Structure 1
Amino acid sequence: MTSATARPRTLAAWLFFVAALIVAMVVIGGITRLTESGLSITQWKPISGIVPPLNDAQWQAEFANYRRIPEYQQLNQGMTLAGFKAIFFWEYLHRLLGRLIGLAFALPLLWFALRRRIPHGYGWRLVALLALGGLQGAIGWWMVQSGLSVRTDVSHVRLAVHLLVALFTLAGIVWTALDLRALARNPQARPARLTGLGLLAGAILFVQLLFGALVAGLNAGLVTDQWPLMNGRFFPGATVAGRPVLDALFNDPAIVHFVHRWWAWIVVALLVVLARAARRIDRRASVAIHSAFGLQILLGIATVMSGMNLTLAALHQLTGALLVIATTWGMHVIGSRRG
């Protein structure tokens, strides 16, 4: 039951806009990783960091900070200021968009709350999503810190946490927007519930997203440019012989790549089942799921065979975010059916 002042349709439109910004953020984050730009800004300044270097002295100061970390000293010795500006651009854009998303969520949420536009029962959920966004910013800096001393890159585990929290937040926003849209159509509508099938499909997809993030963090896409074989073999074996199984599963580039490429077919099987269940209620969700995973597989294969072409890899990441949205839609559809 909605109050007289609640505006669920307006809130749904706002949340879909924020979701679109998060998809853009995921893509830019992927490009930042692919261009090895993530450590170009070595300090976290949530407010003053909005303003980029504006003169040569400020640029030289930022470059001097970068030259102190292992990535420069071991990998990028001799980099020019122009080269530094190129990698700085992607990290700055990534952080700037993160701030924009925070404002695009927090300020309208405050306005909706003051105007009593939020339907009963949704306030806590929106505040929780805002908190997740704040946590994501802290996780991003926690990730960057891992590459500022000793290592020449960020921890692949922390990178995975950073990406997975972003995608979980995206799913939560889309789910809430769908609930609000249903409420706008029918004031008696209740929030969708998470079904057994939906939970299973989400868990299977989560594993794939985890290994996709580990692939990115370990540069495991460069292990081979072949498909379906990996350097002439189905199973590549560990990069370093004698590693414990659990260690190799999460830390060995070849094993991580292998799991990511073949777990994808388990994901496909579950998503086909989810899509068929959703089709009986809303055919559009079924089409979205099939389209997203079909394109994602093709892009994944093309990315590997191209030797990690930047454009293809960025499109692969984009489609991964869209697959999360499509899967969330399908889970919501089957969870909306009562009785």
Structure 2
Amino acid sequence: MNTAASYAPRYDRQVGLWLAACAAVIFGMILLGGVTRLTESGLSMVEWRPLMGIIPPLSEGEWQSVFDKYRQFPEYRLVNYGMTLHEFKVIFMYEYLHRVLGRLIGLLFFIPLVYFALRQRIRPGLLPKLLLLFVLGGCQGLLGWYMVQSGLVDRPDVSQYRLTAHFGLAVIIYGFMLWLVLDLLAPPAGTRRSVLAPWALGFVLLVYLMMLSGGFVAGTNAGFSYNTWPLMGPTFIPEGLYRTDPAWLAAFEDVVTIQFNHRIFAYLLTALVLALAVAVLRREPAARVRRGAWLLLAALLLQVVLGISTLLLHVPVPLAAAHQGGAVLLLSCALFLAHGLRRLPAGGLP
């Protein structure tokens, strides 16, 4: 659909800015998804209507009909029994906005994609990656409904496995898109790759695994099990770790073990960020990667403060949502640094 003969490098900026806008909206989508989870709003819409679902209830009669359907499911009977129609409207709107934003992201991505492809403004080799992103976006919608279904049965809560998979795929889409943005908008590729580049990419993976750990914390409400820091109750290592059969299952289903693992992961990442940033600042004189190292340190500091505050204040919604956003910001800074270390200008320290 696009050829090297018709493509011009000046189009990279247009495509890059479009993808940057999409990534920014996905960032907002991840934040809204966190708020939806924190406010226990995700099960308020008990039907999945990909096309007609974009139209909300418009009359009191329609609102009452939607509310009556919600009252047939376990969350109302076991958690929200006696909820008024006005209270239901609040949780419904969080989930409704989350779903509508997902559809808008699809349009924001698909329509410009078709335009740029037909006008042959997409860099050779990039179109298959963009199509993969579109397919992943569709899978994300299906996975979201698969997650909601797990809470419409006998247990009035979504599966932590499906929740973490839904969150993890959103982060993959965001990270992949941001990497393409950096390819398109960053300065021209240099002639040298830093010896620290593989370590930086490994750190990106660790941040992602840390975010998945946070998904299990959210999915099991493990953040409420111990609200003290640096100790968990009276000790650093709480009693009851890995006391399941089999023991490895505790890492995904026991709230004490899940919170402990998340804390230890945070300590490990903090040490690794400091080591990586110091190494970059000592070895690499290029302004872009030095800026990336400082940004990574700033994002780490913000995330640590948000994480501890969220824990000590018993997981208030604004702070917990900010903590999730801080994780995405930390991943963004890690990607920026890793990308810069792979395309350095010639010269510099050996």
**TM-score for the superposition, normalised by structure 2:** 0.90
Give, in angstroms, the shift of residue 276 of structure 1: 4.2
Query: After superposition, where does 1:27-66 map in structure 2 within 5 Å?
Result: 27-66=31-70
2:254 pairs, out of 222, 247, 252, with 252
Give, in angstroms, the shift of residue 206 of structure 1: 2.1
Give, in angstroms, the shift of residue 234 of structure 1: 1.2
What residue is the counterpart of 1:320 in the other structure?
A: 327
Give me the whole-angstrom Cα distance separating, in 2, the residues matched to 1:3 and 1:266: 49
Which amino acid in structure 1 is aligned with residue 121 of structure 2?
A: R
Aligned residues: 335
What residue is the counterpart of 2:74 in the other structure?
A: 70
1:100-159 CA distance string (max 9 Å, x none): 111111111111001111011111111111111111111111100100111110001110
The answer to whether the aligner puts 1:299 opposite 2:303 as a matched pair is no
Equivalent pair of 1:278/1:330 in contact (CA under 8 Å): no
1:297-327 CA distance string (max 9 Å, x none): 1100000000111111111111111111111
Q: Which moved more, 1:141-150 or 1:282-291?
A: 282-291
Give, in angstroms, the shift of residue 274 of structure 1: 3.7
Give me the whole-angstrom Cα distance separating, in 2, the residues matched to 1:146 and 1:47: 22
Give me the whole-angstrom Cα distance separating, in 1, the residues matched to 2:59 and 2:240: 48
Equivalent pair of 1:156/1:218 in contact (CA under 8 Å): yes
Equivalent pair of 1:275/1:289 in contact (CA under 8 Å): yes
What residue is the counterpart of 2:317 in the other structure?
A: 310
What residue is the counterpart of 1:100 in the other structure?
A: 104
What residue is the counterpart of 1:20 in the other structure?
A: 24
Which amino acid in structure 2 is aligned with residue 59 of structure 1?
A: W
What residue is the counterpart of 2:206 in the other structure?
A: 204
Which amino acid in structure 2 is aligned with residue 312 of structure 1?
A: L
What residue is the counterpart of 1:116 in the other structure?
A: 120
Give, in angstroms, the shift of residue 46 of structure 1: 1.0
What residue is the counterpart of 1:266 in the other structure?
A: 268
The answer to whether the aligner puts 1:214 opposite 2:212 as a matched pair is no
Which amino acid in structure 2 is aligned with residue 326 of structure 1?
A: C
1:181 pairs, out of 185, 198, 208, with 185
Partner of 1:336, secondary structure, is coil
- Distance change >3 Å, CA 55–CA 20, structure 1 → 2: same
Partner of 1:229, secondary structure, is coil
Partner of 2:155, secondary structure, is coil
1:264-317 CA distance string (max 9 Å, x none): 121123333443455523222112211111100110000000011111111111
Give, in angstroms, the shift of residue 198 of structure 1: 3.1
Give, in angstroms, the shift of residue 202 of structure 1: 2.1
- Distance change >3 Å, CA 32–CA 239, structure 1 → 2: farther
Equivalent pair of 1:175/1:328 in contact (CA under 8 Å): yes
**TM-score for the superposition, normalised by structure 1:** 0.93
1:288 pairs, out of 283, 295, 302, with 295
Give me the whole-angstrom Cα distance separating, in 1, the residues matched to 2:248 and 2:238: 16
C-alpha RMSD of matched pairs (Å): 2.2
Partner of 2:209, secondary structure, is helix
Equivalent pair of 1:238/1:252 in contact (CA under 8 Å): no
Give, in angstroms, the shift of residue 61 of structure 1: 1.4
Equivalent pair of 2:7/2:120 in contact (CA under 8 Å): no
Give, in angstroms, the shift of residue 189 of structure 1: 7.1
Q: Which moved more, 1:274-283 or 1:140-149?
A: 274-283
The answer to whether the aligner puts 1:149 opposite 2:149 as a matched pair is no
- Distance change >3 Å, CA 338–CA 126, structure 1 → 2: farther
1:19-78 CA distance string (max 9 Å, x none): 110111111111101100000001111110111000111111111111111111111111
Equivalent pair of 1:146/1:153 in contact (CA under 8 Å): yes
Give me the whole-angstrom Cα distance separating, in 1, the residues matched to 2:239 and 2:246: 12
Q: Which runs of 5+ in 2 are unaligned?
A: none
Equivalent pair of 2:208/2:331 in contact (CA under 8 Å): no
